Amino acid sequence: GNRGGHHFPLIRDANIILQVFGLEKVWGHETGARTIHRQTAPRAPGFCASHPLFSQIKHLDEGFSNTVLDEMYLKRGFRELVRCSNGKLLTCIKEPSASFSGDGSGTILISGSATQFLCSKDAAGEETYMSNLILYMALRQADVEEVYKP
C-alpha cells in the first residue's frame, strides 16, 4: 500500500488525533524489522532504559514498518523513548508530571510503530512493553510524586 502522507489508514487516523492536539503530522515509511537494545547515549538507536516503561526489558522489536516522528516533538514537552535502528525518533511521550508536561494534559504517547501494538509474543520485549505501557498510560499528575535528584 501507499505509506506516504495521509493515504495509509493508520497514518491518516493518527494525523487526525495529532491535529486535535495541535501537533505535527506523521508521514512516510521506514523499513524496520530489527531488534533494538538499550540506548548507549541520548539520540542513539534503541530505547531509554531508565524509563519505567522499559523495566525488565533488554531487547525490543522495533516493528517491521515504521513512520518516524519529527524531532519537533522533543521541543514541545515530549520525552524521547525509542529510536529506530537507523537513529530516527520512533516513540515519544508527554509525561504525567507537571515538570515534564507543564500543561496538565496527562500522558500522551506518540509512536510511529503501529506493528508494536500487535503485541506478538514472539517479538523481543513486546509482551512486557505492552503490559507496562497499559499501566503507565493510566497515570495522571495527581498519581505522580515528583522528586528532585541532583
- The region, left, alpha or beta by phi > 0 then psi within -120 to 50, assigned to residue 143 is alpha
Number of H helices, E strands in the chain: 3, 8
Q: Which residues are CB-contacts of 44 (< 8 A; sequence separation ≥ 6)?
A: 83, 87
How many angstroms from the chain centroid is the CA of residue 21?
16
> What H or E segment, with its residue span, contains residue 16?
helix 9-20
Question: Quick one: pLDDT at residue 13?
Answer: 85
Q: List, for the chain, all residue ranges whose pLDDT scores fall below the cut of 70.
A: 1-8, 98-105, 119-121, 148-150
Cell, residue 100:
515534564
Q: What is the pTM of this model?
A: 0.81
pLDDT of residue 135: 87
- φ/ψ of residue 110, rounded to 5: -120, 120
Sign of torsion, CA 49 53 59 63?
negative
Q: Residue 88: CA atoms inside 13 Å, Cβ hemisphere, count?
A: 17
pLDDT of residue 2: 45
CA atoms within 13 A of residue 118's CA, in its CB half-sphere: 12
